[in-house]
Structure 1
Amino acid sequence: MLANLRYRTRQVFDAAFGVAATAVALVAIQPERNSQASSETEDRNKATIQASFDAWRAGTGTPYDLLAPDARWTIEGFSIVSKTYPTKEHFTREVVRPFNARMLSPLKPKVRSLYADGDTVIAFFSARGVARDGKPYANTYAWFLEMRGGQIIRASAFFDAIEFNELWTRVAPATGTN
């Protein structure tokens, strides 16, 4: 069963990166469709996301700070928390806070690539931290972030569900943190 779950998770993860590569390839081969306004939007959105990752790495903020109150965050695949969260509050209450409460040291992200196409930014990154039980946690993520007015209004997140589920079930959240 675990082998089947690993296989299914790998399929979802591979599909996410296939979608990202296709999106980047399509942007690259399109004829001069990139108007100045679109390019400015893409540059601005990428810079906003990069700054949020820089703040996350420095411990002074996170990309979640950019979520609009009614942002829809979908965790794709087969993790314990995979579903669509209809608001920022639902997502932070049900995923972000309980995750952070399982960590001894917070995640530190390392952006591998950022891609932009119009209002969408794709962040491909790795993150590492230490769980409350002293064991390391490391995962690789692909986030598809739809931006409007400097805020994230919709997101689809892909990551290694096996690694996530193992942490989520192994480590209880610190009490009084939710």
Structure 2
Amino acid sequence: MMNIGKVENLFKNLETGNSDIFFKHVSDDVSWTVMGTHPLAGTYLNKEDFISHTFRRLNRILEEGVILKVKNILLQDDTAVVEMESISTALNGKPFNNTYCWVVYFKNDVIVEVRAYVDSALVQKVIDENEK
């Protein structure tokens, strides 16, 4: 069973730019659904597909890359609800101050399923204005 300290330590890697360490704790066959109607939305059925279509895509248009700061964690058994914010700058110099809520399911301390909620309009805008 997960404890709050483990979850905090794991997600701290997304704030410090160590997303590789974070993703070592994500199952290769994770089911990751990004809610919304923007270009990153959809259900990804493995870790590589999720990373390539979301994190890598955003890393190309955000000066600092994807940096997520945890604001709140709620934990019950092996389910965590993690609220985060992104304070980044897009290549065009405009702020990308997004908010996120991930509902994360763990099995044996490994993330096996995620439902991610994000500001769809802001994602659409930053992609439209910065992708070439």
Fold agreement, TM-score > 0.5 = yes
Q: Aligned to 1:116, what secondary structure does the other structure show? A: strand
1:108 corresponds, among 60, 67, 76, to 67
Question: What's the CA shift string for 1:135-174, capped at 9, x where partnerless?
Answer: 211111100000012211000000110011101111126x
The residue number in structure 1 matching 2:19 is: 61
Inter-CA distance 167–65: structure 2 relative to 1 (3 Å threshold): farther
How far apart, CA to CA, are the structure 1 residues paired with 2:16 and 2:123? 23
Inter-CA distance 107–97: structure 2 relative to 1 (3 Å threshold): closer
CA shift, 1:119, in A, is: 1.2
More helix by share: 1
The residue number in structure 1 matching 2:125 is: 166
How far apart, CA to CA, are the structure 1 residues paired with 2:14 and 2:27? 18
- Equivalent position amino acid for 1:51 in 2: N
Q: Unaligned stretches of 5+ in structure 1? A: 1-40, 174-178
TM-score of the superposition, structure 2-length normalised?
0.89
| 1:139-154 matches, cutoff 5 A | 139-154=98-113
CA shift, 1:106, in A, is: 2.6
Question: Bigger radius of gyration, 1 or 2?
Answer: 1
How far apart, CA to CA, are the structure 2 residues paired with 1:110 and 1:93? 21
- Equivalent position amino acid for 2:33 in 1: T
Inter-CA distance 61–90: structure 2 relative to 1 (3 Å threshold): closer
2:23 equivalent to 1:93: no
How far apart, CA to CA, are the structure 1 residues paired with 2:40 and 2:15? 24
CA shift, 1:61, in A, is: 3.1
Q: Aligned to 1:93, what secondary structure does the other structure show? A: helix
Q: Unaligned stretches of 5+ in structure 2? A: none
- Equivalent position amino acid for 2:50 in 1: F
- RMSD over equivalenced CA pairs, Å: 1.7
The residue number in structure 2 matching 1:47 is: 5
TM-score of the superposition, structure 1-length normalised?
0.67
CA shift, 1:65, in A, is: 3.6
Q: How many residues of Structure 1 are paired with residues of Structure 2 in the alignment?
A: 131
